């Protein structure tokens, strides 16, 4: 357990600064689902330093190891006064479980979504794999999930592009009904984000 804790913390510290990749914003999923049935919340982000984005989301559990979500929001590109409408959905399935031989959990993440703006529409189809590990604080109801999520993000607009980004962040769960995520991404798609979730 001690080696697992050290490995997870090292992962968070060493991998420098994720995207709700399906809407082009830097909000990534971690390897761990922190709710039993549903979760809803809000994300605030600054994708590519090109204007703030605000999104609401709703997630539902699907079996013990998977969940899916939808998100809707808006972004003001470069603070120009124009507003992009964001909509997307994603699915996460946990495929790896930590063991004595490998200290991290892993989850496949896939999604599809769009950023809609006059003469600048984009469709995103991200495919990623999240690696992380839940760390429980002793004598506390607070837990942490530091994670790293490399992702390929095919993007369709006037020209088709294949982006690659690495998301890095931490989910923090307080008690049984609230969590927050802080994170960022680097690679072809940069940015920072913060999300706040109510859990059920």
Residue range 122-147, pLDDT digits in tens:
999 999 999 999 999 999 999 999 99
Residue 197: count of CB within 10 angstroms of its CB: 20
pLDDT > 70 fraction of the chain, expressed in percent and rounded: 89
Q: What is the pTM of this model?
A: 0.86
- DSSP structural state of residue 20: B
Positive or negative: CA dihedral 178, 173, 42, 96? negative
Residue 47: count of CB within 10 angstroms of its CB: 25
pLDDT at 119: 82
* Contact (CB, 8 A) for 104 and 96: yes
The mean pLDDT of 82-104, rounded to a whole number, is: 96
Q: CA 31, CA 131: separation in Å to the nearest integer? A: 5
Q: CA 43, CA 62: separation in Å to the nearest integer? A: 22
3 CA to centre of own chain: 26
Q: CA 85, CA 55: separation in Å to the nearest integer? A: 10
Provide the 3-class DSSP secondary structure of residue 36.
Answer: coil
pLDDT at 18: 38
Residue ranges and CATH numbers for the domains of the chain are 2-199 (2.40.128)
**Average pLDDT over all residues of the chain:** 89
Q: CA 13, CA 95: separation in Å to the nearest integer? A: 24
The mean pLDDT of 100-123, rounded to a whole number, is: 94
Residues 6+ apart with CB under 8 A from 138: none
pLDDT at 17: 33
Structure confidence by residue, pLDDT tens digits, 6-35: 344 344 333 333 346 899 999 999 999 999
Provide the 3-class DSSP secondary structure of residue 188.
Answer: coil
What band does 79 get if pLDDT is binned at 50, 70 and 90?
Answer: low
**Bridge partners for 75 per DSSP:** 53, 84
Angle ∠(122,123,126) on CA atoms, nearest 5: 130
């Amino acid at each position: 357990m001690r080696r697992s804790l050290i490995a997870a913390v090292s992962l968070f510290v060493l991998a420098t600064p994720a995207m709700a990749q399906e809407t082009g914003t830097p909000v990534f999923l971690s390897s761990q689902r922190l709710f039993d049935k549903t979760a809803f919340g809000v994300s605030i982000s600054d994708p590519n330093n090109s204007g703030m984005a605000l999104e609401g989301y709703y997630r539902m559990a699907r079996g013990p190891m998977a969940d899916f979500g939808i998100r809707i929001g808006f972004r003001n590109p470069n603070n120009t006064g124009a507003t992009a409408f964001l909509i997307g959905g994603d699915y996460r399935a946990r495929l790896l479980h930590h063991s004595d031989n490998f200290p991290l959990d892993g989850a496949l993440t896939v999604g599809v979504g769009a950023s809609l703006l006059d003469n600048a529409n984009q469709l995103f189809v991200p495919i990623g794999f999240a690696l992380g590990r839940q760390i429980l604080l002793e004598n506390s109801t607070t837990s942490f999930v530091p994670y790293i999520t490399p992702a390929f993000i095919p993007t369709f607009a006037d020209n088709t592009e294949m982006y690659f980004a690495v998301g890095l962040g931490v989910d923090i769960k307080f008690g049984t009904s609230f969590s927050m995520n802080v994170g960022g991404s680097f690679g072809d798609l940069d940015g920072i984000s913060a999300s706040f979730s109510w859990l059920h």
